[in-house]
């Protein structure tokens, strides 16, 4: 079983811009309940199927598998909840850690989140100056919830 430990933050400045190229993502959710979510994602020419536990907090079980691109396109078109999640992801290296900045488009336009994956929940890391408030424990910021209750409707 794979385990993901991820913390989420809002950004307080735009100083991260220009530090890395962006990669377009589109993803949709096929199922979700109090136990888990099932997601299909296309990142440029790669498609994945992801199953993630719905536990609150930084640590969750996660399983991810590459799938055929055309299958993913059909699942997003025919099976996924609407609206789809559209975003550009920027991966920035800072003090030995990879920060992923997600700049959302579509119905979540205006939302920008930073995520860091850790090896254990109490791992120490230095935040870049552009990192703001932590929102790890706020379920509104989970992508599965942004598909059901987009940022534009808050």
**Using CA atoms in the order 35, 41, 47, 50, what is the torsion angle rounded to 10 degrees?**
-10
Looking up residue 40, the CATH number of its domain turns out to be 2.40.320.10
Name the residue range of residue 131's domain: 3-153
> In this predicted structure, what is the pLDDT of residue 121?
85
CA angle (88, 93, 99) in 5-degree steps: 50
* pLDDT reported for residue 61: 86
Which pLDDT tens digit goes with each residue over 53-73?
Answer: 876 666 778 899 999 999 999
Which residues, given as ranges, of the chain have pLDDT below 70? 1, 55-58
Q: So which residues are the catalytic ones?
A: 29
Of residues 41, 63, 42, the one with CA closest to residue 51 = 63
**Per the structure, how many domains does the chain have?**
1
Q: Which pLDDT score is estimated for 58?
A: 63
> Would you state the pLDDT for residue 55?
67
Q: pTM for this structure? A: 0.90
């Amino acid at each position: 079983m794979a385990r993901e430990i991820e913390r989420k933050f809002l950004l307080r400045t735009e100083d991260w811009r220009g530090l890395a190229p962006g990669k377009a993502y589109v993803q949709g959710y096929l199922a979700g309940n109090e136990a888990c979510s099932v997601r299909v994602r296309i990142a440029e020419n790669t498609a994945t199927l992801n199953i993630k536990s719905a536990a609150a907090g930084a640590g969750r079980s996660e399983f991810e598998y590459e799938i055929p691109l055309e299958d993913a396109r059909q699942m997003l078109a025919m099976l996924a909840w609407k609206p789809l999640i559209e975003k550009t992801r920027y991966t920035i290296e800072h003090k030995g850690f990879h920060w992923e900045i997600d700049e959302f488009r579509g119905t979540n336009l205006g939302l920008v989140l930073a995520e860091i994956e850790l090896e254990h929940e109490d791992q120490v890391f230095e935040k870049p100056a552009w990192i703001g408030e932590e929102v790890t424990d706020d379920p509104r910021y989970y992508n599965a919830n942004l598909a059901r209750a987009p940022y534009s409707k808050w």
